[in-house]
Chain A
Amino acid sequence: MAILEISNLCIEFPTRRGVLSAVEHLSLSIEAGEILGIVGESGAGKSLTGNAIVGLLEPPGHVTGGVILLNGQDITHLSDAEMRKVRGAQIGVIFQDPLTSLDPLYTIGQQLVQTIQTHMDLSRADAKRRAIDLLVEVGIPAPERRFDAYPHEFSGGMRQRVVIALALCCDPCLIIADEPTTALDVSVQAQIIALLKRLAREKGVATMLVTHDMGVIAEAADRVAVIYSGRLAEIGEVRSVIDTPKHPYTKGLMDSIPQIGQNLELLPNIPGAMPRLDSRPDGCAFNPRCEKAKAVCREKMSGLFTAGEKKQMAACWVYAGGDEYA
C-alpha cells in the first residue's frame, strides 16, 4: 500500500475578484522508500500541494475537493489539533530556507528535544540521546558539542541538516521536502541530496521532493510528477520522463535547460509564459503555447493517458488514441 495517496486534490483561493483554483484534480501516490519529485514553474502549485498535505495552507486557500490518505487514514480535513499529532509524528517537513525554519532564540538541542518530547514519550535524557543520534545520522560533526549551539552558529548546509534532523525526530513515514536545496550552494546541495536518498533507502521513508530544478530531480527522484498551472501534466519514472518526455510542456521544458557541452548558439524555448490563475485558458492550460494544439485542446481538459512504457502518463489529447498525432 502506498504511504501517501492523493486523489483529485483541489485547492482554491477565494479572492475579491472571484475564486482562483490553484490546484485542480491532482492525483498521485508515493510508496515506502520512494522519492517522488514534483517539478514545475513558480506558481504551478507544487508547494501548495505539499502544504495541503501537512495542513499548512495559508488562508484563504483551502482544500475544496479530493482526498489525502496517509497510510490509509484520511487526513484531508483534520482539525488543527489532530493535524499537529500527524505532522511531526508521521510527516516530517523540510522547507526551503533553513534559517527561517529554525527558532533563532533556542539552541538546536532544545529544539530537537522539544520536538521529540512532544511526539514521543521519552525522558529528557533519552530525548537528548536520540537528538544526538539524529545529528550523527544527518552528518553533523561533533554533535555533542554542536548540541548547545544556536542556529546562527551553523552554516547554511549544516542548518539544513539540522532541519532534516528535526523532520526525522519521530521516525516519520513521509517527508515533504519543499525546495530543500534551493538556498544552498551546489557542492552542499549534492551532500543534502545524498542524505535524502540514503534516508529513503535505509529507513524506507516516502519522500516528496518539491523543486523547480530538473537536475536535482534527475539525481534524487525515482518518479517525477510535472505540474503545469495547477494540473498534473505528466508523471512517470524519472529516467523515462527525462529521456523521453511525452507531454509537449515537459518536452519544451527539458529542451530549454542548458546542458554542459551542448554548444548551441540559441536554446530551444517555449514561447510565452505560464498563464495566471485568473486567466487560465479553456481546455488544456498549455494550449496557447503548444505547437500540437488542436480544436479539442482548446475546448476540453485532457485526462491522464498512458504514454510510453513503464506507467508513464501524460495529460495530453495527443495520447488519447494511444498513438501520437502524425
Chain B
Amino acid sequence: MPDDIILDVKGLKMYFDVSAPLISRMIRRTSKQMLKAVDGLNFSIRRGETFSLVGESGCGKSTVARAVAGLYTITDGDIVVEGENLSKIRDKTKIAAISKRVQMIFQSPYASLDPRWRVRDIIAEPIRAFHLAKDKADERQQVDTLLRQVGLSPSDGEKYPHEFSGGQRQRISIARALSSRPEFLICDEPTSALDVSVQAQILNLMTELQDDLGLTYLFISHDLAVIDHISDWIGVMYLGRICEITPQPELFKNPLHPYTRLLLATIPDLSGETTHVPLEGEVPNPINPPTGCTFHPRCPYANERCKRERPELRRIGPSEVACHAIEEGRI
C-alpha cells in the first residue's frame, strides 16, 4: 500500500437490524429485516487531501462518517487507518492511539457541545483523555492556542456554549477536534446548520487549518457547491453505494453517472438559468432496495442488465464509475 494513503475503506458494509420484535415476527411469520445503510463501499484518501461524500438524505453518507470514526461496529469490510485495520484491532492502547489521530466534527454545534461545561473544559477534554498536557498550566496554554487558532479569544474559554452564536460554536467544536492534534478530521455536514455568511467563515477556517496543520478531511455534505469548493476528490453516494468517484473539477465539468448528471441538473443555481428537468421520483427505501443497479427505476438509460446485475466501480479516465450504460458505451 502506498505510504501517502491515510484511510483505505474496503468493502464496507453497515447493516442495521430494523426487525419487528421477535414475538411479532413469530405471530406474523415475517423474517428479520435489515436496513442496508452502507452496502459495499470502497474508497481511499491520500494524506493532506479532502475527500467528500455527497448524496441525498438516507444515502448512507453519515453512516460512513460514523463508521470511520469508530462509532459503529461495522457489519463487514475493512477500515484501514494508516495501516491499522480498525475493525480488527482489539488492543485498547492501539485503539486510543488511532482515535487520538482521528477526530470528528458534527453537524449541529447546538447538540454536540455539553451546555453545562465551560468552553475551556470542552476543548481540554481530549487533552485530558489522552494525557497530552504536562500540567495545568500547559493545558491552559494549549487551550488558549487552540481558541486563537479558530478565531476566538482565550477569554472565551470561561464562557458556556449558550453564550455563542452557531458559527462560534462550530469554531469551538473544531477547536475540540484539533486538541488531540489529529491528522485526520471527519466532518459530517459541518456547515449545514449555519447561515451562508457564517458558512463561508467556517469553510475558510477549515481550509486555512488544512494548509497550516496538513490535515486530511473526510467531508460529508449534501450541498454540491460546498463540496465543489472544499474537495480534492468527490464520491457520489446513492442508496448505500458509491456510484462515482472523481477528482473535484471533473465532477462538475464532466459528470458521468446518470445520477450525478441528474443531481447536478436539479440544484438551484443563482443564475436562475438552469433548464430544469426535475428528477422524477425519490430515493427508494433502503430496507427493500431495487435489484441490480439501485438507481435503475429512476434512470433514463436503464435496461434489462441494470435491473439484474449490480454494477461495480470501473476506471474511466481519472474517475471511477459504477454504471453498465457507461461501460457499454450507451451514454
A residues bordering B, Cβ < 8 Å?
41-42, 155-158, 185-191, 193-194, 212-216, 218-220, 238-239, 242, 252-254, 256-271, 273-274
Contacts and interface: CB of A to CB of B under 8 A. Distances in A.
Contacts of A252: 197
Q: Considering the complex of A and B, which 10 residue pairs feature the smallest CB-CB distances, nearest first?
A: A215-B268, A256-B200, A269-B200, A185-B56, A41-B195, A187-B279, A267-B200, A219-B268, A190-B266, A258-B229
A50 B198 CA distance: 24
Contacts of A218: 268-272
18 contacts: A155-B282, A185-B283, A186-B266, A187-B278, A188-B282, A189-B266, A190-B279, A194-B278, A219-B272, A219-B274, A242-B270, A252-B197, A254-B270, A256-B196, A258-B226, A260-B269, A266-B207, A269-B200
B119 to A, nearest CB: 17
Given A186-B222, A190-B268, A256-B200, A212 B282 contact: no
Interface residues on B, range: 35 or more
B229 A214 contact: no
Contact of A258 (B200, B201, B268, B274): B200
B57 interface: yes
Contact of A263 (B200, B249, B270, B279): B249
A107 B263 CA distance: 32
A263 B269 CA distance: 16
A253 B196 contact: yes
B228 interface: yes
Nearest to A267: B200
B244 to A, nearest CB: 16
A265 B229 CA distance: 8
Interface string B184-212: 00000000000111111101100110000
Q: Describe B's contact surface by its main secondary structure.
A: helix
Contacts of B200: 256-258, 267-270
A271 B205 CA distance: 12
Contacts of A256: 196-197, 199-200
Given A215-B268, A218-B269, A190 B278 contact: yes
Contacts of B166: 42
B195 A214 contact: no
A156 B197 CA distance: 28
B203 A258 contact: yes
B225 interface: yes
Contact of B272 (A41, A242, A265): A242
Given A41-B197, A258-B203, A185 B272 contact: no
Interface of B: 56-57, 165-168, 195-201, 203-204, 207-208, 222-226, 228-229, 249, 252-253, 262-264, 266-272, 274, 276, 278-279, 282-283
A220 B208 CA distance: 35
A268 B204 CA distance: 9
A214 B270 contact: yes
B229 to A, nearest CB: 4
Contact of A266 (B198, B204, B271): B204
A313 B63 CA distance: 46
Given A194-B278, A258-B226, A269 B204 contact: yes
B268 A273 contact: no
A208 B225 CA distance: 26
A321 B123 CA distance: 50
A262 B198 CA distance: 19
A185 B281 CA distance: 11
A46 B301 CA distance: 43
Contacts of B165: 273
A31 to B, nearest CB: 19
Contacts of B279: 187, 190-191
Contacts of A219: 268-269, 272, 274, 276
Nearest to B193: A42
A157 B270 contact: no
A161 to B, nearest CB: 11
B50 to A, nearest CB: 13
A214 B225 CA distance: 12
Contacts of B197: 41, 252-253, 256, 269-270, 273
Given A260-B252, A269-B200, A215 B267 contact: yes
A264 B282 contact: no
Given A158-B282, A261-B249, 5 more contacts: A252-B197, A257-B196, A262-B229, A264-B229, A271-B201
Contacts of B224: 186, 260
Contacts of B228: 258, 260-262
Given A185-B57, A185-B283, A188-B282, A238 B272 contact: yes
Contact of A193 (B195, B268, B283): B268
Nearest to A195: B278
Contact of A187 (B56, B196, B269): B56
Contacts of B167: 273
A291 to B, nearest CB: 14
Nearest to B55: A185
B197 to A, nearest CB: 5
